[in-house]
Amino acid sequence: MRSLSRRPRRSTRRQLLGTGAGLALAGLAGCGSHADAKRTNSDDPWRQFEGTTLNFISENTAPTAAIAANLRPFTELTGIRVNIVTLELTALVQKVALDLASGQSQYQLVYADPYQVLAPYAKGLVDLRELASESSLPQLEGGFDDFIGTQLDAAGRFSEPDAVFALPYDCPTMIWQYRADLFEKYGDQLGNDLGFDPKPGDSSTWEQYAAIASWFNDNASEVEYGTGHQAKQHDSLMCDFSNLLWAYGGDYFEDGTTVGRIGKVDPGPCQLADDAGIAAAEMYASLLASADPASRTWDWDGVGAAFRAGRIAMCPNWHEFAASNETALPGKVGYARLPKGPARSANHYGGCGIGISANTLPNERRAAWLFLVWSTSPEIQLANLKSKAGGGTPTRTSVYELPEVRDAEQRPSAMPNILTAPAVSEAWQDENIGLRPKIPMWNECDTAIYTQLSRMLVGDATPAEAMRETAKRFDRIVARGWAG
């Protein structure tokens, strides 16, 4: 595919940010019934829908911040204007549900969270293979196969293994983030006292992680606690616990790999009350007992801030916190895949995709396809990676293979999130990725698991009681079915 940059202009960052802000605040076009986009005869496939306005509803994420700050190239390339509306995820889900139910398409482009949008509303999204097969439209550079396979499945598919309802757009993944300077300073003492090599690596276990955390509690003056966690009664608690659940051989449902990767409408009975689930809960409770007590008030932002402030020596957190880590603690942070349990290392993937509402009219959805091709292209993913306004990490294999990206894996790096590339590349392997259940009822199940885990952490339930009660609640939720 030829370069996506058309008639390049020099723009200051202030100008780009001003453009993005203006687009985000602009009044939405397309409300109510409206005519289809006009298709013009053009030798340039990118200019077929010049004059069209599209609306993109997104969670407030790093890739969307970067794109909103630099939309001018897309408009210059296509003649299409894009309004970007960013919301907190719960509000986004409500608006998307109402829009899909209306039969109209106020939002042609949708940030499709796999669990709260894709799973319950897959029938309301376009199968993107249809647009990819149209020879008159610009094609995906590298095709669907250039997207990292586990991410294309987890963020883009539901129920059937072939249809693609969204393109991987962001890819936050939980990894081990640690004070490399302190591990270097105390490494010999740690090893002598604990009897194992404390350096985070493929052989590290959760039991060793807990021992290292306790050692830092007692022996290092630079930090108050060895570890911190995102254990607030919130979605973050489910995310944090799930790493241990999978590592200890447990899962939410039988055939968890399929339920997490492709998704199911009916996943069967909950497995949390099995021995492996209870063992994971016991280990998690033990780990939190010696962690920073404020962990029970922190989500991912809270634990990230505590780590950057030098309060804790290590934590599991989403890899895209690396950019802020490198600003606060330049050169002092290390990144590794999460420790392993009796079964494996499991690293929670939280990525989302971008899709097209099936309510869009024929030409309108083709115009939306142009934005999908452009916004997920290797060129734009590389630009997002470099963006000062935000920017996530790529979802395409080809971007990680670029020489400048490979070079950025070493400090000094102009792309600090890429310092995590060795860790996340391991985390995304089939045997290491952690995928929560992709089922239409997940939002209710999520609330059930983090509510019971919270009871466990404050002593109102034993680990076994928490898992058994959660399993009962899951089964009731799933049995009730999905009416969406």
pLDDT value at 31 more than 60: no
Work out the mean pLDDT of the chain and round it to a whole number.
91
**Tens digit of pLDDT for each residue in 309-341?**
999 999 999 999 999 999 999 999 999 999 999
Average pLDDT over residues 154-181: 96
Q: Please indicate, yes or no, whether residues 100 and 140 belong to a single structural domain of this protein.
A: yes
| CA atoms of 98 and 95, how far apart (whole Å) | 5
Domain count of the fold of the chain: 2
Q: In terms of residue numbers, what domain contains 203?
A: 174-348+432-480
**What's 445's domain CATH number?**
3.40.190.10
Within a domain: 191: yes
Q: What is the pLDDT of residues 290-300, one digit of tens each?
A: 999 999 999 99
* Angle of CA points 302, 308, 312, to nearest 5°: 80
**Which is it for strands 333-336 and 174-179: parallel, antiparallel or unpaired?**
antiparallel
pTM of the model: 0.90
Q: Write out pLDDT tens, residues 94-142.
A: 999 999 999 989 999 999 999 999 999 999 999 999 999 999 999 999 9
Q: Tell whether 379 is covered by a domain.
A: yes
- 149 within a domain of the structure (yes/no): yes
**What sign does the dihedral 444-445-450-456 (CA atoms) show?**
positive
Please tell me whether residues 330 and 367 are part of one structural domain: no
Tell me whether residue 329 is in a domain: yes
Asked whether residue 5 is assigned to any structural domain, the reply reads: no
pLDDT for residue 390: 64
Q: What are phi and psi of 16, to 5 degrees?
A: -65, -45
Are 260 and 318 in the same domain? yes
pLDDT single digits (tens) 355-408: 999 999 999 999 999 999 999 999 999 999 988 766 679 999 999 999 999 999
* 478 Ramachandran zone, left/alpha/beta (phi>0; psi -120 to 50): alpha
Q: How far apart are CA 55 and CA 85, in angstroms?
A: 8
List beta partners, residue 349: 173
Angle at 357 between CA 355 and CA 362, to 5 degrees: 110
Q: Give, to the nearest 10 degrees, the angle between helix 463-480 and helix 275-289.
A: 130
Would you state the pLDDT for residue 314? Answer: 98
Residue 274 lies inside a defined structural domain of this protein: yes
Asked if 195 and 309 sit in the same domain, the reply is: yes
169-227 tens-digit pLDDT: 999 999 999 999 999 999 999 999 999 999 999 999 999 999 999 999 999 999 999 99
Asked if residue 418 belongs to a domain, the reply is: no
List pLDDT tens digits, range 419-468: 999 999 999 999 999 999 999 999 999 999 999 999 999 999 999 999 99
423 domain residue, yes or no: no
Residues 79 and 126 in one domain: yes
Same domain, 298 and 386: no
Q: Are residues 314 and 389 in the same domain?
A: no
